[in-house]
Amino acid sequence: MKKHKICIVGSGLTGLISALVLSKKGIDVDLIAEEDKSKPKDLRVTAISEKNLEFLKFSLKNINSKLFYPVKKINLFFESNNQIKNFLNFDENKNLMFFFENKIAKEHLIKLIKKSKIKVQKKTIKSVDFQQNRVFTKTSSKKYDLIILCLGSNSLIYQNIIGNREIKKSYKEHSITCSVRHKIKNLGAKQFFLKEGPLAILPYKDNKFSIVWSIDSSFFIKNEKNFVSYLKSKLSILLKTKKINLGNIQNYPLKLLLKRNYYKRNVLILGDGLHVVHPLAGQGFNLILRDIKKLAELISSNLRLGLPIKDSNIPKDFLENRKPENLLIGLGIDTTRKFFKNNKYLDPIKENILNNFSKYKILKKITKRVANLGLN
């Protein structure tokens, strides 16, 4: 019986995880892993929900659980009249969320790829033939039953699939991230909604956390030369300690990107090419994992029924299942960002809402459920 052949293009976290998950389905998987050596190492730390970690552990039996740092306490604060006020707390006996270092996780996934039957091609993709289901590189071309593009958000190849069918806007903000050494016991995760922008504390070791601070690009550019001392001073005030040491700082421009079309014939987009959302809720990577899980389920269903992958309803069913949640959560996070932006007319109303937020237990329960399970 002829084996199904899938090509995954892209060697980021999305491409690596997709290749490993789908290779477990008894499918021939080729991974075109183009490395951009000019890019600096990714120093970011990423949040993953308990349910999504269960999916990874189930799908990739040999994944190292020690990569994921558990957190049982999450505190939310907002700034008002130069005061930092706590408006919501999650303090439980079970793990609420996990954090991992992107570069360490990627190195581990590459090791798993090398031990698998996945065929890795370190080549540069030139184009995709949508009629012939063929991927062209600089030196060769090959046909596949399904082609999955995990090329990030800026690939020009996507234009042949979606055209201009997308929701897109620049936030005119930069996300500032760096690693911080500390000696604070039971730190937990924290989200501060400050006048400059939302700042998250993401612990990934007992003595280390990462910060993700989303601030206006103009403010960052104006203060870039002295930003290390500015950030250290801000963290010292927020955490009430001066015993912190900052690592190298990286910054990324922020935008909202939500595709309206996910595929063309047998070519499907995954990852940042489908959706890029504001980092304040830590949901970007969780949406990607739910996408991968749904795609794996649809492929498994076809295989069980003895149906082909090529020219199947898999891309269409994937779009119909995942698009509503991706749009709703992406736009919901965008609305949350707007809510917490400084506005002298709305700030008194906002403060009253936040001061009473913890009284509504149902809202707290819904917030925790959506963060873990999404909208399904």
pLDDT digits (tens, 9 = 90+) for 233-243: 999 999 999 99
Q: Which of 36-40, 119-123, 285-289 is the most confident on average?
A: 285-289
Residue 356 pLDDT > 70: yes
Q: What is the mean pLDDT of residues 347-362?
A: 82
What's the pLDDT at 37?
Answer: 61
Q: What are the start-end ranges of the E strands in 59-185?
A: 69-71, 73-80, 83-91, 97-101, 119-121, 125-129, 134-137, 141-143, 146-149, 166-181
Residue 69 tokens read as 């740092």
- In contact, 342 and 293? CB cutoff 8 Å: no
What's the pLDDT at 102?
Answer: 96
Report how far residue 304's alpha carbon sits from residue 152's, in angstroms, rounded to the nearest whole number.
Answer: 31
Residue 373 pLDDT > 80: yes
What's the pLDDT at 347?
Answer: 82
Residue 28 pLDDT > 70: yes
What's the pLDDT at 177?
Answer: 96
Q: What is the mean pLDDT of residues 333-339?
A: 94
Residue 46 tokens read as 């990423």
Q: Residue 64 — very low, low, confident or very high, per pLDDT cuts 50/70/90? A: very high
Indicate yes or no: pTM above 0.85: yes
User: Domain coordinates of the chain in residue numbers?
Assistant: 5-373
Q: Residue 36 — very low, low, confident or very high, per pLDDT cuts 50/70/90? A: low
What's the pLDDT at 296?
Answer: 97
- R_g of the chain, CA atoms, integer Å: 22
Q: Provide the CB-side half-sphere exposure for 354 (13 A, CA).
A: 22
Residue 101 tokens read as 């270092």
Q: What is the pLDDT of residues 247-297, one digit of tens each?
A: 999 999 999 999 999 999 999 999 999 999 999 989 999 999 999 999 999
Q: Residue 355 — very low, low, confident or very high, per pLDDT cuts 50/70/90? A: confident
Mean pLDDT value across the chain: 92
Q: What are the start-end ranges of the E strands in 158-304?
A: 166-181, 189-193, 198-205, 208-216, 245-246, 250-259, 263-264, 267-269, 275-276
Q: Which SS3 state, helix, strand or coil, does residue 250 take?
A: strand
Residue 228 pLDDT > 90: yes
What's the pLDDT at 357?
Answer: 77
Residue bearing the bigger pLDDT, 148 or 160: 148
Q: Which SS3 state, helix, strand or coil, does residue 316 take?
A: helix
Count of beta carbons in the 10 Å neighbourhood of residue 370: 18
What's the pLDDT at 346?
Answer: 80
What's the pLDDT at 35?
Answer: 63
What's the pLDDT at 158?
Answer: 83
Residue 1 pLDDT > 60: no
Report how far residue 242's alpha carbon sits from residue 139's, in angstroms, rounded to the nearest whole number.
Answer: 56
Q: Which SS3 state, helix, strand or coil, does residue 41 take?
A: coil
Q: What is the pLDDT of residues 164-189, one digit of tens each?
A: 788 999 999 999 999 999 999 989 99
What's the sign of the alpha-carbon dihedral 174, 178, 183, 188? positive
Residue 332 pLDDT > 70: yes
Report how far residue 303's alpha carbon sits from residue 241's, in angstroms, rounded to the nearest whole number.
Answer: 57
Q: Residue 38 — very low, low, confident or very high, per pLDDT cuts 50/70/90? A: low
- In contact, 72 and 95? CB cutoff 8 Å: yes
Q: Provide the CB-side half-sphere exposure for 281 (13 A, CA).
A: 24
Q: Residue 365 — very low, low, confident or very high, per pLDDT cuts 50/70/90? A: confident
Find out if CATH 3.40.50.2300 is the number for domain 5-373: no
Residue 69 DSSP one-character state: E
Residue 14 tokens read as 């999305």
Beta bridge partners of 8: 31, 148
Residue 240 tokens read as 């009430």
Report how far residue 239's alpha carbon sits from residue 287's, in angstroms, rounded to the nearest whole number.
Answer: 30
Residue 2 pLDDT > 70: no
Residue 8 tokens read as 């995954």
Residue 98 pLDDT > 90: yes
